[in-house]
């Protein structure tokens, strides 16, 4: 069941609105699964972002399923995105608008045209009809006790084209009860000085506590434009994790959040203590997208606090503030990307507490040593917490092997079938030792990983019947040492679920992709069986 609270209004507070799950998904090559969305949404809520825009319910099956998932927010207001009622439709009878209102979200963000040129040329409707579309849609939302947010699309270009009409669009939303009027630099072409000037004019018509900014990064100014807008009186910033978004992306919240907290007098819902999660969040999204993190990203990049030998390195050793604008530990990063034992131990203890595990310092240090050895081999447990849990519980003796693999063999055959179709089939043979018995089984699949999974289940299902409802829902491969060509080390991430609504991710690393895949499957099975026995 969804559980949300609306952000409290504070005079000097900047409200953060994350649109990664919608705007971020418009990035070329990005396609979040429902599981991806759940992981990111929970991480944003834990950080303390005020609004999490989940997507557009009714627009596609992924967003529909996500909005129907069981999820609880403690800090964030869950927001549905959509558009105003259609021309010639009443707000009460518009199916798209009603889908938003009837969703589990507590806030609804509507996009509507605020440029006279766009209204007459793109929509080809009367300018007064557009104003009615805005006002009637906002009223319909507030009538159903939902918080209404209006995204004024093409606002800055529209303001330059016809200032009077663009303001009329904003007033139509504001006077109809919209909590937020968000000024959108839709094509990303407005510069910071223009943003400041125009937002300053808008705040003479509408209070700044009701104004937001939505900046695109087409001139590499999205972060600067967002800061210019709040300096002109706006109180909400919309953006995405790592600046994801169509074309050149959106305002990067990973840069904006620490800048607001550390370098301005504005208040946010994210206190300084939570900033240490920023680097982790940035890399979490990269892991989900199977993309390498940008090494020179401000605050969170591997090179953000890296110093090459010479005068800089020498000076940093004595006076770090000489070449570092903040202490890297504040944002969860480190100098020269060398994670200190203390920082590593703190992260480990946090995860152990979540698993209700209390250990002595000696055992914690030993586990920390093992994890660092694994990370040097290419493992990354940020997104594969199930593998992390299996590793820890095995190390402290809480998990014993449910079976022992003797050997496996996988073959692929590419051939023409009886219908004259060219097909490729995989076959896996597995030998395991389970419950004092030897089992050999054969499985076939549409790929080697599927074939191994099939054969393994056949061998184990009679001993562990709950494996019938284990599903492998996603499979991702990342090359870790591309300089080695086809001999590169590969990292495999496997997402799993079962009929108890548990979702977990496991990892395998090996120069052999099949071996890495098997290791991730092994951890997934082990994690499930352990929790099945506990419940």
**Residue 41: pLDDT above 60?**
yes
Q: How long is the chain?
A: 535
Q: What is the mean pLDDT of residues 194-222?
A: 98
Q: What ranges in 235-310 are assigned the alpha helix state H?
A: 253-263, 278-288
Residue with tokens 């000696």: 362
Give Cα 523 distance to the centre of its chain.
24
- pLDDT(310) > 60: no
Q: Which DSSP letter does residue 14 get? A: P
Q: Which residues of 311-336 are buried (b: 16+ CB within 10 A; e: fewer)?
A: eeeeebeeeeeeeeebebbbbbbbbe
Q: At 322, is the pLDDT very low, low, confident or very high (cuts 50, 70, 90)?
A: confident
Higher-confidence residue: 151 or 349? 151
Q: What percent of the chain has pLDDT over 70?
A: 92
Question: Residue 381 forms beta bridges with which residues?
Answer: none
Can you give the pTM of this predicted structure? Answer: 0.71
Question: What sign results for the dihedral spanned by CA atoms 117, 118, 120, 122?
Answer: positive
Q: Tell me what the mean pLDDT of segment 258-265 comes to.
A: 97
Strand partners, 213: 183, 237
Rounded Cα distance between 379 and 255, Å, is: 26
**Beta pairing, strands 422-434 & 437-445:** antiparallel
- pLDDT tens digits along 394-440: 999 999 999 999 999 999 999 898 899 998 899 999 999 999 999 99
If you write DSSP's letter for every residue of 76-143 in order, what string do you get? -EEEEEEEPPPTTS-GGG-HHHHHHHTSS-SEEEEEEE--HHIIIIII---HHHHHHHHHHHHHHHHH
Between CA 415 and CA 89 the distance in angstroms is 56
d(CA 263, CA 513): 45
pLDDT at 306 over 80: no
Q: What's residue 8's pLDDT?
A: 57
* Token pair listed for 470: 């284990």
Contacts of 203 (CB under 8 A, 6+ apart): 211, 232, 233, 234
Question: What separation in angstroms does the CA of 440 have from each of 446, 460, 504?
Answer: 20, 10, 28
Strands 107-113 and 51-55: unpaired
pLDDT band at 164 (very low <50, low <70, confident <90, very high): very high
Contacts of 234 (CB under 8 A, 6+ apart): 183, 199, 203, 208, 211, 212, 213
- Tell me how far CA of residue 268 lies from CA of 236, 368, 475, 504, in angstroms: 10, 33, 37, 31
């Amino acid at each position: 069941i969804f559980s949300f609270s609306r952000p409290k209004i504070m005079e000097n507070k900047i409200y953060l609105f994350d649109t990664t799950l919608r705007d971020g998904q418009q990035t070329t090559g990005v396609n979040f699964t429902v599981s991806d969305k759940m992981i990111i949404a929970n991480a944003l809520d834990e950080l303390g972002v005020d609004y999490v825009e989940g997507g557009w319910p009714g627009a596609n099956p992924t967003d529909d399923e996500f909005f129907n998932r069981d999820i609880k927010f403690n800090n964030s207001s869950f927001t549905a995105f959509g558009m105003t009622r259609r021309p010639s439709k009443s707000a009460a009878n518009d199916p798209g608008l009603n889908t938003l209102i009837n969703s589990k979200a507590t806030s609804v963000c509507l996009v509507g045209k605020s440029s006279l040129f766009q209204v007459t040329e793109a929509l080809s409707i009367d300018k007064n009809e557009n104003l009615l579309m805005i006002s009637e849609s906002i009223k319909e939302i507030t009538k159903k006790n939902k918080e209404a947010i209006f995204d004024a699309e093409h606002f800055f270009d529209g303001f330059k084209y016809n200032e009077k009409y663009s303001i009329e669009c904003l007033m139509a939303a504001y006077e109809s009860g919209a909590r937020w009027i968000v000024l959108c630099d839709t094509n990303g072409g407005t510069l910071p000085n223009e943003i400041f000037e125009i937002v300053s004019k808008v705040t003479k018509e509408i209070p700044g506590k009701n104004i937001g900014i939505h900046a695109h990064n087409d001139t590499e100014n999205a972060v600067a434009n967002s800061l210019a807008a709040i300096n002109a009186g706006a109180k909400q910033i919309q953006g995405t994790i790592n600046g994801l978004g169509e074309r050149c992306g959106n305002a990067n919240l990973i840069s904006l959040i620490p800048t607001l907290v550390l370098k301005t007098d504005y208040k946010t819902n994210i206190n300084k203590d939570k900033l240490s999660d920023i680097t982790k969040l940035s890399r979490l999204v990269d892991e989900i997208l199977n993309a390498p993190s940008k090494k020179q990203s401000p605050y969170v990049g591997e090179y953000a606090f890296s110093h090459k030998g010479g005068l800089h390195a020498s000076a940093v050793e004595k006076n770090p503030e000489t070449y570092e604008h903040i202490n890297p530990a504040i944002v969860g990063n480190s100098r020269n990307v060398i994670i200190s034992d203390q920082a590593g131990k703190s992260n480990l203890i946090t995860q152990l507490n979540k698993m209700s595990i209390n250990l002595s310092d000696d055992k914690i240090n030993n586990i920390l040593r093992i994890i660092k050895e694994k990370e040097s081999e290419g493992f990354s447990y940020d997104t594969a917490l199930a593998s992390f849990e299996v590793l820890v519980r095995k190390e402290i003796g809480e998990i014993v092997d449910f079976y022992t693999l003797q050997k496996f063999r996988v073959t692929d055959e590419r051939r023409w079938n009886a219908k004259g179709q060219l097909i490729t089939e995989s076959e896996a043979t597995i030998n395991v030792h389970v419950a004092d018995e030897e089992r050999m089984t054969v499985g076939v699949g549409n790929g080697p990983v599927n074939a191994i999974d099939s054969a393994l289940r056949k061998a184990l299902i009679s001993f562990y019947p709950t494996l019938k409802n284990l599903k492998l829902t996603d499979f991702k491969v990342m090359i870790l040492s591309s300089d080695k060509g086809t001999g590169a080390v590969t990292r495999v991430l496997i997402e799993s679920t079962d009929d108890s609504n548990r979702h977990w991710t496991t990892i395998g690393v090996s120069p052999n992709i099949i071996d890495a895949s098997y290791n991730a499957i092994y951890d997934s099975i082990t994690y499930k069986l352990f929790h099945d026995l506990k419940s």
